[in-house]
């Protein structure tokens, strides 16, 4: 799992906004730009050119629900 301190300082390289952790280190998500950044071997790949864009509204909502459920399970949030 990504370190909580690291998660607090990571931002989207495009808009400098906060990112949401999805799943158990599955990916980082920017809901404002709908960009997904993958995590490889515990290392976030924060390259705009390698991010994928979520164009489907249902997928966007699914990612938001998963992020919210993760945050609500975190006793430190």
Q: Which CATH number goes with the domain that contains 9?
A: 2.20.25.10
Total tally of structural domains belonging to the chain: 1
Looking at the DSSP bridge assignments, the partners of residue 20 are 29
Domain annotation covers residue 33: yes
Which domain range does residue 45 map to?
Answer: 4-70
What is residue 24's predicted lDDT score, i.e. its pLDDT? Answer: 79
Smallest CA-to-CA distance from 29 within 9, 12, 50 is with: 12
Q: Which residue has the tokens 């799992």?
A: 1
Question: Residue 7 pLDDT > 80, yes or no?
Answer: yes
Domain annotation covers residue 50: yes
Does residue 74 or residue 22 have the better pLDDT? Answer: 22
Domain annotation covers residue 61: yes
Per-residue model confidence as pLDDT tens digits over 21-63: 998 779 999 999 999 999 999 899 999 999 999 999 999 999 9
What is residue 5's predicted lDDT score, i.e. its pLDDT? Answer: 87
Domain annotation covers residue 47: yes
Domain annotation covers residue 77: no
């Amino acid at each position: 799992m990504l370190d909580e301190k690291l998660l607090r300082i990571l931002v989207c390289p495009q808009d400098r906004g906060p990112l949401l952790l999805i799943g158990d280190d599955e990916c980082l998500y920017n809901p404002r730009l709908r960009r997904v950044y993958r995590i490889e071997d515990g290392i976030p790949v924060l390259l705009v050119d390698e991010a994928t864009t979520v164009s489907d509204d249902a997928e966007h909502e699914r990612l938001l629900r998963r992020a919210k459920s993760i945050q609500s399970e975190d006793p430190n949030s």
